[in-house]
Chains A and B, each alone.
Chain A
């Protein structure tokens, strides 16, 4: 029923490498910026657990093992979100934990139903997909990959989590749902196509609605949270439409988004450390304080919006091609979501760095240069991978993956 059921395939190695890299960047950032507030040991253990669980889900082909790693990451997130033991942090952590745990339990029921039908937890051998089981599993996936309607836990979580681990959350933990979807469902011949169309539309609606929320929100962390939810919609869309473009596009999108979102998270963390404020209405003209951060966050925001030569351009292009290949209306929905992405990202960037040029911020502490270096590395990796985009794409398509 369960054993050391790990395997190496190109998709798995790709994802694991990404998770380890994000973990490394978070680690360096944490070394530089984590305030000396007790329980730092717990912090590093939590971070390692998140990375390990991510790799576990990516490399495993046994559903029960995937579930175990999934739950490890839920547990680790619970510890991480409540790290600064403040009241809102604790309630955010509980909310996140309960939502994910219940959804995962529902997903477990789905797994067990698949086991009963097929006699095995092995992904490669499962042939009969009971629609009820599929729906139950989707509940777990929706919760973990923060898609409407199970997305609510992310916004308070982002507000409470220390920015060092926020990168891990954004880059690793949130992608686990999409990874499971990729392993189990994408391009599967045993599931009826209407399911995929339904998931694709759920993803697009999630992306649109939450993109709208991002346009209106003023707190930096909430903006990041809504932005993440919106982008995860694209990833799920890519995996739902399947095909070469959709699958590879989804994987590249995971890569691009993890790099860019962690970078933005770290950048926002730096700004919070420097100015003590985390609200767009009280911040202004940050470019004057830190021009380097301005350039770097422009690159990262550009990756999310999808400007060449950042990696996000290729990700978005491939996902859109995949979507249009399935149905042009999906493509139109994806483009409208992309327009929202452009609008809210540029509003965020402009309001943060350029607005109100005449105001002066008080009490500016110097940013930690290590932290800036981490953001720089993430931006440069996005840029280089975008220019030499054939490297990841060729790697992924070389022998098919799965």
Chain B
């Protein structure tokens, strides 16, 4: 597969790097270089995607020391590569205006290209070591990207938190891969025979690699860098990294290691571990999202919650659910990007993402509202949008585990509860930003700029298409071929019938609404504490939708704990490290320095003794000489 004589794999890795570097150095032509790089990447991704519809492709690159570098492309590779390229292109398009005239936008595009190149290399790699090299590069590029802050805020602490958490997970991944390398000998794809998890070292290796993948994916407990950075980082970064790339790559690694290298369908405990992690992420993060007051933070927690669905699906071990997890990953990329981008558009116009300061923008930004509503319905799992389909597949997988796992219904209930909560916080977001009363300060807000409106609309349209024509487009083309096993029938889904039924349902609902005794809302003057408040001061924002939850003492305390960072892995890590460090430092100081001091004291004592013996009087010395002589003669005589 060549282009201008060079193999396409090199193009798809080096073109973004070249474009990014050139664009960074020659600032005036930055957009042009990046455009070429991203469109080129998209083109190559499409070519690779089409090529991989047949047999998998391997290609050995080099052998250095005993590191074997090879590429491996199968259906899964082509699928993920395609959506990485699409996502990068749309985020770039969006950023053209979203990031313009922001501080450090030059560096932003450099890191964007670097991340894209590294992501491509990760997906193309045919060997765990090769994958690890570029996974590691992603840590650095993530750090760089997170250093680009939103306005004049300082994002360096969030960047530090991210690099610490992801770095530690990276080390775990390294250890896992190295243990595998040493135990099994080579870690090339495709693995001739999938490893079973019999040996405790193999299990350790799997868990370590899983930790690496989960940290990237952003599930609990390694997720805290996402909400932390959501406060201070622009929407484009959030749409690209935690929204799309991390999910794509995290699920990619997780599926590779769970079903391509190892085969965890045999190990119930590992699957339960994955399912528990998934379910806890779903529910806890959705609960956290309910109480947030900043739009980007709501979306950040939502991202972690959705990642939980993917892990849950993969953990079930049922082909339907695994396909559902892959499909959910794809859908998440779509609707999550819409959500982040639309919130970014709002922020671009209003300069704030604080829910208390927003409201009633629906009339001013109708197109953005439209995309947002579609994304909200999709993320909540409302048919006929795509979210419904993927969640349904995951639920089906859980149900089919009923004979293996006695407590399966707990997982099902938690997942469905999570879905309800998703709808809850999404509606809160919708109301707080677009519906409700508009504050005075936002009277002059216009619709988002064209370049910022197009990518969300495209993605929203994709949500609809992928949902209505789920069997034809995404599943058949993308998801199902990527799995190493066949799936039975998924169920009976007739897009036409479902769409007609839903439209009929909406029409009936509208009729009921209009016929009913709904009149215009009453207006009255507000008289509080001796003063009349005008409309703006008396405005009801959307942030207190669910504050009745805080009447439960325990939940309230849990919320304030977690906002204060009590469940934050980063804090535990720092705390543990500092604690250990304190112990170490004291060990060193007391024991070792103590030993040195004692040696010093002994030496000084000896010195004092000998200087004491040197009295300076001749007769003493003569006495010592005679004494020594007598002893010597005695020794010689014996």
Contacts and interface: CB of A to CB of B under 8 A. Distances in A.
Interface of A: 148-149, 152, 208-216, 244, 248, 302, 305-309, 313, 316-318, 320-321, 324-325, 328, 331-332, 335, 338-340, 342-343, 346, 350, 353-354, 357, 389-390, 393-394, 397
A309 B137 contact: yes
Given A244-B65, A305-B167, A343-B164, A213 B585 contact: yes
B578 A331 contact: no
Interface string B565-600: 000000001100110111111011000110110000
Q: Which of A210, A213, A324, A346 has most chain B Cβ within 10 Å?
A: A324
Given A244-B65, A342-B163, A343-B573, 19 more contacts: A208-B580, A211-B584, A213-B584, A213-B588, A216-B585, A313-B133, A317-B132, A318-B65, A325-B182, A328-B204, A342-B164, A343-B574, A346-B160, A346-B164, A350-B156, A354-B160, A357-B154, A357-B156, A390-B64
B592 A149 contact: yes
Interface residues of B, number: 46
B593 to A, nearest CB: 7
Interface stretch (B170-178, B292-300, B361-369, B468-476): B170-178
Contacts of A321: 178, 181-182
B106 to A, nearest CB: 13
B515 interface: no
Contact of A331 (B157, B178, B581, B595): B178
B201 interface: yes
Main secondary structure of the interface of B (DSSP, over half): helix
A335 B592 contact: no
B137 A212 contact: no
Contact of A340 (B66, B160, B577): B577
A343 B592 CA distance: 24
Interface of B: 62, 64-66, 129, 132-134, 136-137, 139-140, 154, 156-157, 160, 163-164, 167-168, 171-172, 174-175, 178-179, 181-182, 201, 204, 573-574, 577-578, 580-585, 587-588, 592-593, 595-596
B136 A209 contact: no
Nearest to B580: A212
Nearest to B200: A328
A24 to B, nearest CB: 28
B175 A215 contact: no
Contact of B583 (A148, A149, A212, A214): A212
Contacts, number: 123
25 contacts: A148-B592, A210-B584, A212-B581, A213-B581, A213-B585, A213-B588, A214-B581, A216-B578, A244-B66, A308-B133, A308-B136, A313-B133, A328-B201, A335-B172, A335-B174, A335-B175, A338-B171, A338-B174, A340-B581, A342-B167, A342-B171, A346-B164, A354-B160, A357-B154, A397-B65
Contact of A208 (B168, B172, B573, B584): B584
A40 to B, nearest CB: 34
A343 B577 contact: yes
Given A308-B133, A320-B174, A328-B201, A212 B585 contact: yes
A350 B581 CA distance: 18
Chain A CB count within 10 A is highest, among B175, B181, B574, for: B175
A149 B595 CA distance: 10
Given A212-B577, A309-B137, A324 B175 contact: yes
A152 B171 contact: no
A346 B586 CA distance: 23
B163 A346 contact: yes
Contacts of B573: 343
Nearest to A342: B167
A176 to B, nearest CB: 22
A151 B134 CA distance: 36
A29 B595 CA distance: 38
A309 to B, nearest CB: 6
Top 3 closest pairs, chain A to chain B, by CB: A212-B581, A212-B584, A354-B156
B65 A215 contact: no
Given A149-B595, A212-B581, A324-B179, A394 B64 contact: yes
Contact of B140 (A307, A338, A389): A307
A394 B574 CA distance: 39
Between B168, B182, B592, the greatest number of chain A beta carbons within 10 A of the residue's beta carbon is seen for B182
A209 B584 contact: yes
A55 to B, nearest CB: 26
Contacts of A148: 588, 592
Contact of B64 (A317, A342, A393): A393
Nearest to B160: A350
B182 A307 contact: no
Contacts of A209: 584, 587-588
Nearest to A287: B156
A352 B580 CA distance: 23
Nearest to B574: A343
B592 A152 contact: yes
Contacts of A394: 64-65
Contacts of A325: 182
A338 B169 CA distance: 12
A335 B171 contact: yes
Contacts of B578: 215-216
A328 B596 contact: no
Contact of B139 (A307, A331, A350): A307
A308 B134 contact: yes
Nearest to A302: B140
A331 B181 contact: no
Contacts of B585: 212-213, 216
Contact of B593 (A152, A309, A317, A331): A152
Contacts of B583: 212
A152 B596 contact: yes
A355 B367 CA distance: 41
